[in-house]
Structure 1
């Protein structure tokens, strides 16, 4: 009896998720994440084309205090100081692959250029260097492209092959989670007017 109730509950839960999954799939046309490495330097590029309001994209990528709620591997993210479009953000988390895990602590100096660009670079933490850039671009047909490019050099000993795979795996999960959150928050996907 209890198993039958659990199966029905699971089936109902999946049925409730299907419309959201369909909306997400219909709203996102393309997601790419690529990494490369040269010695200790790891570069990351990612992009997603979505049928969403560009204001929603900006609202999500600049929501530093809530990033840890939906980004896998991020334990905390908080604004330390804001002075206009200059923001100091502190983040903790981890990246990893299979059995390898590495704790990350970073303090970022962030420059915002609403509604189209965020540039950040590490000024503290356990990364030797890190810089990243988000760009939001309106495309034809109401599409929006979110692009990310970043470069980092770990400040801890990791074999380069492992660090590249770990960063690739982590960035892929995190970027896809960011895109899911954008789609989830977008009023047009939910059928609301903005």
Structure 2
């Protein structure tokens, strides 16, 4: 999935594209151009035990195990929607490719029928881009339209929070 040439899908410099897949699945691709050092971005993304400190609506994030370049983490997110508190949990298996600036993740168990994607740090001369792709399918009783709307609203703020944390770490 690529970004269209138009900027109509760009909000505050962040490009977003949603692809409607079969059986109620959605694929979301988001790209944030930034001037943050790629190594610092990598250290923020792989600081699994502290992600919930700075990513909005991420209640907890814990490293469960590590085997070479593969890790298992458990994350819980929660937020209020329509006056109700909604919470979702996933256990993810993440394969780290530090030389490529890429993290591939897939759900091993959790509250979705499907949840997988990747983080990619791309470097083009002076500009670094943080790319996030997620393919998701809600569980029974979890309307995909609701998930889609939350993702569209939340993912930009999540990428900005990661960028802000990387900027904070680069100063310290």
User: Shared fold (TM-score greater than 0.5)?
Assistant: yes
Equivalent residue, structure 2, for 1:173: 157
Equivalent residue, structure 2, for 1:130: 115
More displaced 10-residue stretch of structure 1: 100-109 or 156-165: 156-165
Q: Are 2:84 and 1:111 equivalent residues in the alignment?
A: no
Residue 184 of structure 1: how far off its partner (Å): 2.0
Equivalent residue, structure 1, for 2:16: 33
SS in 2 for 1:158: coil
| Cα displacement string for residues 107-134 of structure 1 (whole angstroms, at most 9, x for unaligned residues) | 0010000041100000001111110101
Give the length in aligned residue pairs: 159
| Cα displacement string for residues 72-127 of structure 1 (whole angstroms, at most 9, x for unaligned residues) | 11111011000110100111112565545421110001000004110000000111
Equivalent residue, structure 2, for 1:75: 59
Distance 1:108 1:143, change over 3 A: same
More displaced 10-residue stretch of structure 1: 156-165 or 96-105: 96-105
Residue 46 of structure 1: how far off its partner (Å): 1.0
Equivalent residue, structure 2, for 1:4: none
Distance 1:66 1:146, change over 3 A: same
Describe how 1:81-100 pairs up with structure 2 within 5 A.
Answer: 81-94=65-78, 97-99=81-83
Query: Which residue of the other structure, out of 31, 40, 49, is the alignment partner of 1:56?
Result: 40
Query: Which residue of the other structure, out of 160, 163, 167, is the alignment partner of 2:147?
Result: 163
Equivalent residue, structure 2, for 1:18: none
Query: Which residue of the other structure, out of 118, 123, 134, is the alignment partner of 1:150?
Result: 134
Equivalent residue, structure 2, for 1:5: none
Question: 1:120, 1:131 within 8 Å by CA — same for their partners in 2?
Answer: yes
User: Which one has the bigger strand percentage?
Assistant: 2
Question: 2:14, 2:156 within 8 Å by CA — same for their partners in 1?
Answer: no
User: Which one has the bigger helix percentage?
Assistant: 1
Q: Decide which structure has the larger Cα Rg and report it.
A: 1
Residue 174 of structure 1: how far off its partner (Å): 1.6
Please, what TM-score do these two structures have when normalized by structure 2?
0.83
Residue 180 of structure 1: how far off its partner (Å): 1.6
SS in 1 for 2:56: coil
Please, what TM-score do these two structures have when normalized by structure 1?
0.74
